[in-house]
Chains A and B, each alone.
Chain A
Amino acid sequence: MNQTAVSTISASALSTNKLIRNTYMLLSMTLLFSALTATASVAFNMPPITYLLSLGGAMLLIWMVLPRTANSSAGLGVVFAITGLMGFGLGPILTQYLALPNGGQLIATAFGGTGIIFLSLSTYALTTRKDFSFMGGFLMTGMMVILIAALANIFLAMPLISLVISSVVIMLMSGFILYDTSRMVNGTESNYIHMTVSLYLSLFNIFISLLQILGAFAGNRD
């Protein structure tokens, strides 16, 4: 191997490491910020519509503003706005769970469980360095099926379907963590702002779904 090839490989490894470091640093800061806004939302006892409005606002930012700002420093502000809004939207859900006798324990278990799932899957993808790009089509198909099922269940209101949807969401988001981490490791994605939002959305969805599953089973036992 000649010297140019060696220096190209080491430059690519350096940029991958930088991307991973920046992504995880921004992700941890946004999670902290999200926790702060969620606490504020619980403290102000925000009404249930807050969840819908905050998520709607965050989705609009992801679709309309993030693609234009992701390559500039303004993108950082947009990421904090997105994650702050989503954290704030969590408030009414957390308030509902906190009203249960073991609500605090359920939230703590869902939070810890989400952290363990994320850390384990990220470590797996980072250490094996496998290319999970083949999962893209499968994950997006699953995502579309789940969105349609969730839309139908708004009108059907069947608790069993709701539980199945939550379980599948956890599987899909776990798949997205593997897929996104492998995109970082293999250099398919080079923007840490996009990666942070993508991983944050996976974490957010796992937390909400896990909370719903734990709440349903704990509720049945009580």
Chain B
Amino acid sequence: MDWMKIGSALMLLMMIVYLWPRAKQMMKESPKGSSEDWKAVIIPLLAVVGFVILLVMMV
């Protein structure tokens, strides 16, 4: 295994260790969204998916 892979793995591991406490806190403290709230997120995200597919077809 080359040391680029080892370096990348170490960096990702560091990110996981660093972000884990913050992620846990955010998971606990985040307010719950209603179905209306999620609809307001899903629509633009689906538009992003459509746009990426369009870009893939263009290249």
Chain A interface residues toward B at CB < 8 A? 48-49, 52, 55-56, 59, 63, 102, 105-106, 109-110, 113, 116-117, 120-121, 124, 128, 130, 132-141, 143-144, 147-148, 150-151, 154-155, 167, 170-171, 174-175, 178, 210, 213-214, 217-218, 221
Chain B residues within an 8 Å CB radius of A151: 9, 12-13, 16
Interface band, chain B: 35 or more
Contact status A137-B48, CB under 8 Å: no
| Cβ-closest chain B residue relative to A209 | B52
Task: Give the residue of A124, A138, A171, A178 whose beta carbon is less than 8 angstroms from that of B49.
Answer: A171
Chain A residues within an 8 Å CB radius of B22: 140
Within 8 A of A (CB), among B1-59: 4-5, 7-9, 11-16, 18-20, 22-23, 26-33, 37, 40-41, 44-45, 47-49, 51-52, 55-56, 58-59
Chain A residues within an 8 Å CB radius of B28: 137
The answer to whether A217 and B51 touch (CB under 8 A), given A49-B4, A130-B40, A147-B15, is no
The answer to whether A150 and B12 touch (CB under 8 A), given A214-B55, A217-B56, is yes
**With the chains together, A178 CA to B58 CA distance in Å?**
26
Chain B interface residues toward A at CB < 8 A? 4-5, 7-9, 11-16, 18-20, 22-23, 26-33, 37, 40-41, 44-45, 47-49, 51-52, 55-56, 58-59
Contact status B14-A210, CB under 8 Å: no
| Cβ-closest chain A residue relative to B7 | A52
Chain B residues within an 8 Å CB radius of A155: 5, 9
The answer to whether A148 and B59 touch (CB under 8 A), given A171-B45, A174-B48, is no
**With the chains together, A90 CA to B43 CA distance in Å?**
31
**With the chains together, A133 CA to B8 CA distance in Å?**
31
The answer to whether A52 and B59 touch (CB under 8 A), given A116-B51, A175-B41, is no
Chain A residues within an 8 Å CB radius of B5: 154-155
Chain B residues within an 8 Å CB radius of A154: 5, 8-9, 12
**With the chains together, A81 CA to B58 CA distance in Å?**
35
**With the chains together, A144 CA to B22 CA distance in Å?**
11
Task: Give the residue of B11, B45, B59 whose beta carbon is less than 8 angstroms from that of A55.
Answer: B11
Chain A residues within an 8 Å CB radius of B30: 133-138
Contact status A134-B19, CB under 8 Å: no
